[in-house]
């Protein structure tokens, strides 16, 4: 059964692009690595996964990762302002804290906030994005509760040089350069980018005089990847990412509030491929550092350093059965210049095992993992899944798994601290949030239409919620949802359509979870004519609440973005995009203004 279009929600729009086909082979688009830590064809996957390639990103022309993934099914976003400000990513009703974010398979993010900064991810250096929906703690441990977002920057077969410049509304400007080449059995990729924006006034209704200015943004990053194959069996590869970001934001304090973040990610992987048996060991380190100023006291610095080692092996028992497993270790150290935490480091050691079976008309998989964390002890997770092809065109899919979210350092050890936002004190007795999730889906693939209809349900226990001025494990939540994803074409116009229904409930209060719309829909359209390619994306977001008491309701809204690419010469592309074409006024977070209609243009030359 052809599952490709079902699993990659934007491929049907872009894969028929003549420009993309010359640089991105179809076989590469259908291979993914995120689901089970090894390369698999989309045909072989049971969990739903979306893939967006580099060429597709060029056509879409997003300004950020959230701009890109908000087009995908099961995803909702909430932004506290413009570029560089906090963005929340909700996958199947769970927040950013429950999404594992990786760069080239390496975990990134802050151990104090418990989530990754989405604005810090290297957009212009992306080879492809893989977004898996559903729990994956049985493979990756904590954070992989509702999904996994894997940003992949390297490709050993890439040979190209590219430079590009762009301008846009609100003083937006960008410059990027890429060089990738092969040297015998070795390869090297370099990419760098500078992006800046004057921004706009994020909270125009604020009574704080310092908030009347525009909230600007500036970011620079460099990505360097490379590797070599010593022979048919052994290879070595490395990846590195360095990013520096400056942004203005608004807060209750006086003064012009500014934030500066510095992030790096370095990893080295040795690989052995002996035919039926393949193994790899990855050593990595990364840092997430945030410095804020303009408040009292000034220059507060919060930093996470993470060191990790992962051993993974895969054995092809026969043509149908794969066994995989390994060991996973990491240590997290945090530092807060403003307030010393009672504990500032912890280690986690894990063992994981999985098996997958594929036949002509059905597949099964099972994954299990045990984590030993020095803070909360042992935690066991598992996942089981199966699919069955009733016919060549119809498939039934079932999945069930468990997951957990470890409390952050702030949750556990933050000393009593009071500010304009109120008081807060950590609780060292917190336990991880526990969740179970199940999914049933029917997938159909026909010549002119691919469609997937799925029902998912998850229950959360030990939900961490703040009571008074300290967090407690008092909450329970239930999330139910229906996803409908379809891909089809009409006379050369390619469509990706999705609809999501969500029913969220905090069991302790009976209220809906904040910033989750009950109804949301996406419609992505692509069309190629001569040397022009058009991309139109429309998103509908239903009503949702901005507070836990469900007293403050945010209105429903719909947004349309239009992008066009003109292949001027063989190596020269000119692109333009209009965001929020109909200039809609809307909020995703109460009192935080979202961008008006905006115009962008860029030129890229490949040689």
- DSSP letter string, 290-357: EEEESSSSS-EEEEEEEEEEEEEEEEE-SSSEEEEEEEEEEEEEEEESSS--S--EEEEEEEEEEEEE
Q: How far apart are CA 214 and CA 198, in angstroms?
A: 7
For residue 370, say if its preceding peptide bond is cis, omega within 30 degrees of 0.
no
Q: How far apart are CA 112 and CA 306, in angstroms?
A: 12
pLDDT (0 to 100) of residue 24:
34
Q: Which residues of the chain have pLDDT under 70?
A: 1-29, 84, 205-213, 249-256, 294-299, 337, 419-421
- CB under 8 Å to 190, separation ≥6 — which residues? 178, 179, 180, 222, 223, 224
Pairing of the two strands 147-152 and 99-103: parallel
pLDDT (0 to 100) of residue 416:
77
- Token pair 């998103």 is found at 539
- Token pair 């010593």 is found at 230
Tokens of 299: 């220059």
Q: At 531, which CATH number?
A: 2.40.170.20
pLDDT (0 to 100) of residue 109:
87
The DSSP line for 425-472 is: ---TT---EEEEEEEEEEEEE-SSEEEEEEEEEEEEEEEEEEETTEEE
Total domains in the chain come to 1
Q: How far apart are CA 159 and CA 165, in angstroms?
A: 21
Half-sphere exposure of 560 (CA within 13 A, CB side): 6
- CB under 8 Å to 207, separation ≥6 — which residues? none
Half-sphere exposure of 376 (CA within 13 A, CB side): 21
Domain hosting 213: range is 4-606
Beta-carbon count within 10 A of 235 CB: 19
Residue among 464, 409, 402, 411 at smallest CA distance from 433: 464
Pairing of the two strands 99-103 and 87-91: unpaired
pLDDT (0 to 100) of residue 337:
66
According to DSSP, residue 404 is labeled E
Over its C-alpha atoms, the chain yields an Rg (Å, rounded) of: 23
- CB under 8 Å to 160, separation ≥6 — which residues? 23, 178, 179, 180, 606, 607
The DSSP line for 181-237 is: EEETTEEEEEEEEEEEEEEE-S-TT-S-GGGGS-EEEEEEEEEEEEEEE-SSSEEEE
- 112 close to 302: Cβ distance less than 8 angstroms: yes
Q: How far apart are CA 112 and CA 332, in angstroms?
A: 10
- Token pair 């809204």 is found at 557
Each residue's pLDDT tens digit, 219-262: 999 999 999 999 999 999 999 999 998 877 665 555 557 778 88
- Token pair 């945030």 is found at 290
Half-sphere exposure of 458 (CA within 13 A, CB side): 29
Q: How far apart are CA 223 and CA 454, in angstroms?
A: 37
Q: How far apart are CA 74 and CA 450, in angstroms?
A: 17
Residue among 8, 105, 119, 123 at smallest CA distance from 54: 123
- 47 close to 35: Cβ distance less than 8 angstroms: yes
Cα–Cα–Cα angle for 313, 319, 324, rounded to 5 degrees: 20
pLDDT (0 to 100) of residue 321:
96
- CB under 8 Å to 344, separation ≥6 — which residues? 333, 334, 335, 409, 413
CA distances 291 to 36, 217, 243, 266, 287, Å, are 36, 15, 14, 21, 13
Pairing of the two strands 172-183 and 99-103: unpaired
pLDDT (0 to 100) of residue 258:
77
Beta-carbon count within 10 A of 380 CB: 12
pLDDT (0 to 100) of residue 298:
56
């Amino acid at each position: 059964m052809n599952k490709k279009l079902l699993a990659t929600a934007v491929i049907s729009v872009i894969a028929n692009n003549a420009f993309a086909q010359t640089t991105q082979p179809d076989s590469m688009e259908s291979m993914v690595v995120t689901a089970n830590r090894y390369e698999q064809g989309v045909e072989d996957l049971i969990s739903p996964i979306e893939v967006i390639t580099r060429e597709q990103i060029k056509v879409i022309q997003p300004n950020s990762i959230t701009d890109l993934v908000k087009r995908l099914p099961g995803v909702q976003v909430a932004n506290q302002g413009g570029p560089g400000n906090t963005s929340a990513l909700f996958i199947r009703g769970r927040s950013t804290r429950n999404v594992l974010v990786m760069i080239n398979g390496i975990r990134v993010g802050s151990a104090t906030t418990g989530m990754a900064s989405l604005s810090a991810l290297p957009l212009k250096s992306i080879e492809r994005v893989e977004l898996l929906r559903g729990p994956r703690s049985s493979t990756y441990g904590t954070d992989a509760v509702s999904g996994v977002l894997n940003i992949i920057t390297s490709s050993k077969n890439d040979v190209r040089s590219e430079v590009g410049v762009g301008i846009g509304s609100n003083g937006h400007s960008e410059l990027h350069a890429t060089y990738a080449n092969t040297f015998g059995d070795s390869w090297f990729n370099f990419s760098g980018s500078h992006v800046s924006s004057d921004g706009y006034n994020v909270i125009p209704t604020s009574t704080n005089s310092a908030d009347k200015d525009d909230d600007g943004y500036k970011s620079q990053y460099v990505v360097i990847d490379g590797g070599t194959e010593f022979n048919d069996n052994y290879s070595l590869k490395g990846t590195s990412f360095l990013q520096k970001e400056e942004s203005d934001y608004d807060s209750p304090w006086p003064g012009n509030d500014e934030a500066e973040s510095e992030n790096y990610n370095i990893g080295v992987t040795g690989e052995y491929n002996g035919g039926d048996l393949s193994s790899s060991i990855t050593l990595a380190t990364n840092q997430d550092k945030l410095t804020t100023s303009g408040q009292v006291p000034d220059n507060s610095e919060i930093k996470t350093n993470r060191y990790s080692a992962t051993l993974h092996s895969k054995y092809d028992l026969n043509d149908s059965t794969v066994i995989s497993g390994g060991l996973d270790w990491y240590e997290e150290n945090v530092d807060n210049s403003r307030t010393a935490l009672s504990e500032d480091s912890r280690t986690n050691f894990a063992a994981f095992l999985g098996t997958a079976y594929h036949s002509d008309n059905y597949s099964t998989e099972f994954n299990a993992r045990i984590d030993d964390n020095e803070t909360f002890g042992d935690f066991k997770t598992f996942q089981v899944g199966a699919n069955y092809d009733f016919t060549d065109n119809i498939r039934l899919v079932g999945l069930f798994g468990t997951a957990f979210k470890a409390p952050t350092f702030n949750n556990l050890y933050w000393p009593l601290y009071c500010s304009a936002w109120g008081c807060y004190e950590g609780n060292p007795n917190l336990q991880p949030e526990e969740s179970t999730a199940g999914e049933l889906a029917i997938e159909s693939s026909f010549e002119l239409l691919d469609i997937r209809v799925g029902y998912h349900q998850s229950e959360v226990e030990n939900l961490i919620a703040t009571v008074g001025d300290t967090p407690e494990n008092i909450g329970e939540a239930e999330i139910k949802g229906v996803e409908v994803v379809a891909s089809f074409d009409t006379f050369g116009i390619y469509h990706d359509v999705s609809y999501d229904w969500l029913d969220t409930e905090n069991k302790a209060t009976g209220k809906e979870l904040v910033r989750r719309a009950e109804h949301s829909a996406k419609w992505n359209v692509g069309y190629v004519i001569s040397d022009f390619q058009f991309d139109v994306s429309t998103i509908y977001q239903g009503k949702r609440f901005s507070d836990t008491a469900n007293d403050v309701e945010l209105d429903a809204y719909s947004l349309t973005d239009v992008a066009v690419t003109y292949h001027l010469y063989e190596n020269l592309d000119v692109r333009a995009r209009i965001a929020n074409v109909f200039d809609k006024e809307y909020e995703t977070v109460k009192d935080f203004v979202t961008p008006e209609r905006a115009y962008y243009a860029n030129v890229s030359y490949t040689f």
